[in-house]
Structure 1
Amino acid sequence: MGNEQVIREFIAAWSRLDVEELVGFFAEDGIYHNMPTGPVQGHEALRIFIGGFINGWSETVWDVLTLMSAGNTVIAERLDRTVAHGKQIDLPCCGVFEMKDGKIAVWRDYFDLATYMKPLGG
């Protein structure tokens, strides 16, 4: 499977809100850098971080607006539509993925944290 298809499947997997499935897309030493926070590395740290991040989410669908790749880099512009703590949040995002052997080695996700927090009252 090509890198673009792996990332399309990863994005689709978020709608299932299954932490183990999501972590499985990463290399063992994979890094997730959710830009408003510090990076986390490795499956155990990813489980904790992703689990905490989606805590309170009842649904999420990520629409791919643009997806392109060059070599081992995939860029996905998205609109993440999430219900978190009973509140609808529509969050424009851009993810940059560095791939290695069909797994995510590094994921940097860029978005405006205030856009996420405002519907939650933050």
Structure 2
Amino acid sequence: MGDSENERIVAEFLTALREKDFATAGKLLDDDLVYENVGFPTVRGGRRTIKLFEALTRMGFDVAVHRTATDGDTVLNERTDVLSFGPVRVQFWVCGTFELHDGRITLWRDHFDVFDLTKAIGRGLAGAVVPALRPSFSDAAR
């Protein structure tokens, strides 16, 4: 697979998650996927990872990718992720590492700052009470 094809697969995967198209997202994950949010428990297996996201269907997910770098089978992206729960919008910076083999994602590792996430939760809760404080992608560094 070429660099641009691997970038396309990662973009398609994130879009499928945003749209809750778990069938498409699942097809892009390898059965032996390793999914890590650094500092949290590792999830192993593509099906298990998709089941996790299916269980979180009440939660909204959005993503804005700011930069992407690819080196062979590895795609790195810097992005802003949004998790929303009703009026609570939690928006935070993430650096993602994706490894692909034969057109499928075999490793998905996200790094983020826990303090930044804690601030985002506070801002999201404040924004639920005072909508003018609710974060938006225009607030994200691009």
Residues of 2 paired with 1:21 and 1:61: CA distance? 16
Q: Which residue of 2 aligns with 1:95?
A: 96
Q: Give the structure with the larger strand fraction.
A: 1
Report whether the alignment pairs 1:21 with 2:24.
yes
The letter for the 2-side match of 1:26 is: L
TM-score using structure 1 length: 0.82
Gaps spanning 5+ residues in structure 1: where?
none
How far apart are residue 120 of structure 1 and its match? 5.5
1:40 pairs, out of 43, 63, 68, with 43
Q: Which has the larger radius of gyration?
A: 2
Q: Where in structure 2 are the equivalents of 1:104-119 lying within 5 Å?
A: 104-111=105-112, 112=114, 113-115=117-119, 117-118=121-122, 119=124
CA contact under 8 A between 2:20 and 2:57: conserved in structure 1? no
Deviates more, 1:43-52 or 1:63-72: 43-52
Runs of 4+ in 1 over 3 A off after TM superposition: 115-121
CA contact under 8 A between 2:16 and 2:22: conserved in structure 1? no
Deviates more, 1:99-108 or 1:110-119: 110-119
**Aligned residues with identical type, % of pairs:** 27
Gaps spanning 5+ residues in structure 2: where?
127-142
Q: Give the structure with the larger helix fraction.
A: 2
Q: Deviations over 1:73-95 (max 9, x none)?
A: 00011111332243111111110
- Match of 2:39, SS state, is coil
What number of residue pairs does the alignment pair up? 119
Q: Which residue of 1 aligns with 2:135?
A: none
Q: Which residue of 2 aligns with 1:69?
A: 70
TM-score using structure 2 length: 0.72
How far apart are residue 115 of structure 1 and its match? 4.3
Seen in structure 2, the aligned counterparts of structure 1 residues 38 and 82 have a Cα distance that, compared at 3 Å, is closer
CA contact under 8 A between 1:97 and 1:105: conserved in structure 2? yes
